[in-house]
Structure 1
């Protein structure tokens, strides 16, 4: 890594992809700080990680957390803006406005607020890396998941704008687009989508797996490996990029 100080804050870092990111950065010698809305998950992270119970869509709570980061650490090298929710699975005419707004608040507002408060810390040091978790739904669309897809497209535009805005301060911003990731969250998506499409869970699973060149779902650790690369000096000339870690999606809406 060849950086004097290595400090990373990961939103939604207590489980799933965020937890895998924390473990990967920890292995590389980073000090790790995770935020999460789930107190039980937070209680299970390694004891040497710092942790905050925070709603990423709450501006006051996010401001307070980053003020604590500045007080305790004095700076920040890497931000992984990872928090997100699946949102409703339904035809667009059946999506409630409140469900739409909640999905956008977590997935888009949460990224905005994390970047808003991390950026001053990075500007002080004239260096930093912001890694945003989007989705292949932000590249291709996602039937029956309109709030999720819209928010994931939006964070890509936001991240590309940040890369342009912050490049002069030696701050990079890149986007990771996971595909179908093995784990409890995707299992919930599979069950909901199966119910919506009148299919079995296994049929939906096979449809997604067969829609990739590698013919499989990806692991959270594989997403984490990309985050560590983008946060490291090895990627010091990589900014404004959207990188899919998805086994190469060749059919974003496979039919079975």
Structure 2
């Protein structure tokens, strides 16, 4: 099961699991994205749900578990970028929405998944955090705070669920080739009063490999963590970031 799996990184992860022979159910808030994904990705199960809403999460799990007959892997991918602004200019509503999706959503899905994962012999939880979950990120405080929270949740759950054979890991993407990153770069360029090209160059100057990360590399890490080769990996922060040293 993959939250926010109808587009972007979530859909790339769904494709990778399908290619590995898994049965995959995704949810997403966008009915349009779900419709497109369902038409174009063979074998993908879809459901419209808001991960920040308990009743919506319950409906998704009822549907998905009935279809799958059990659960081996939960990928908590749902997350929003939130505002790009100095903290003093961030509204309470914007702060609350970021936390509702990026943290509460992980909590609600994980809480519902645990009983089913305990019945699996290869249970795995994979949480999507970010390099913003290990580094300071000026003008992106709500997002960074939420991603640090995901790391704390991951490491704590790894200990809590280890006795049941359930692995819990976080994937920390760096500057990913995606529309969301393009939008964040544009927003930060506006805040800093520089061009988007200069902002992008500034961002990549602090990446060891001086490039962005393809979404397929994030998906590959998720599949590895759910594979037999990943069964002894738990409580880890897997940085797939091309060597991000700092965020600006």
What TM bracket, shorter-length normalisation?
over 0.9
Give the alignment of 1:73-222 within 5 angstroms. 73-222=68-217
Instruction: Give me the whole-angstrom Cα distance separating, in 2, the residues matched to 1:126 and 1:246.
Output: 31
Instruction: Give me the whole-angstrom Cα distance separating, in 2, the residues matched to 1:71 and 1:32.
Output: 13
Aligned with 2:4 (options 12, 23, 27): 12
Q: Do residues 33 (structure 1) and 28 (structure 2) align?
A: no
Residue 80 of structure 1 contacts residue 130 of structure 1 at CA under 8 Å; is this kept in 2?
yes
Runs of 5+ unmatched residues, structure 2: none
Q: Deviations over 1:64-120 (max 9, x none)?
A: 111222222221111110000000011010000010000010000011111111111
Instruction: Give me the whole-angstrom Cα distance separating, in 2, the residues matched to 1:230 and 1:109.
Output: 23
Instruction: Give me the whole-angstrom Cα distance separating, in 1, the residues matched to 2:235 and 2:173.
Output: 17
Structure 1 residue 18 displacement after superposition: 0.4
Residue 127 of structure 1 contacts residue 169 of structure 1 at CA under 8 Å; is this kept in 2?
no
Q: Deviations over 1:26-52 (max 9, x none)?
A: 111111111111111111112421001
Aligned length: 245
Q: TM-score when scaled to structure 1?
A: 0.94
Instruction: Give me the whole-angstrom Cα distance separating, in 2, the residues matched to 1:124 and 1:64.
Output: 20
Residue 57 of structure 1 contacts residue 109 of structure 1 at CA under 8 Å; is this kept in 2?
yes
RMSD: 1.0
Q: Deviations over 1:191-226 (max 9, x none)?
A: 111110111111111111121111101011110000
Residue 18 of structure 2 contacts residue 43 of structure 2 at CA under 8 Å; is this kept in 1?
no
Q: TM-score when scaled to structure 2?
A: 0.96
Deviating runs (4+, > 6 A) in structure 1? none
Instruction: Give me the whole-angstrom Cα distance separating, in 1, the residues matched to 2:58 and 2:50.
Output: 11
Partner of 2:2, secondary structure, is strand
Deviates more, 1:97-106 or 1:65-74: 65-74
Deviates more, 1:129-138 or 1:198-207: 198-207
Q: Deviations over 1:120-172 (max 9, x none)?
A: 10112354000000000010021001110000000100011111110000000
Instruction: Give me the whole-angstrom Cα distance separating, in 1, the residues matched to 2:155 and 2:246.
Output: 25
Partner of 1:4: none
Instruction: Give me the whole-angstrom Cα distance separating, in 2, the residues matched to 1:127 and 1:218.
Output: 28
Q: Do residues 63 (structure 1) and 55 (structure 2) align?
A: no
Partner of 1:6: none
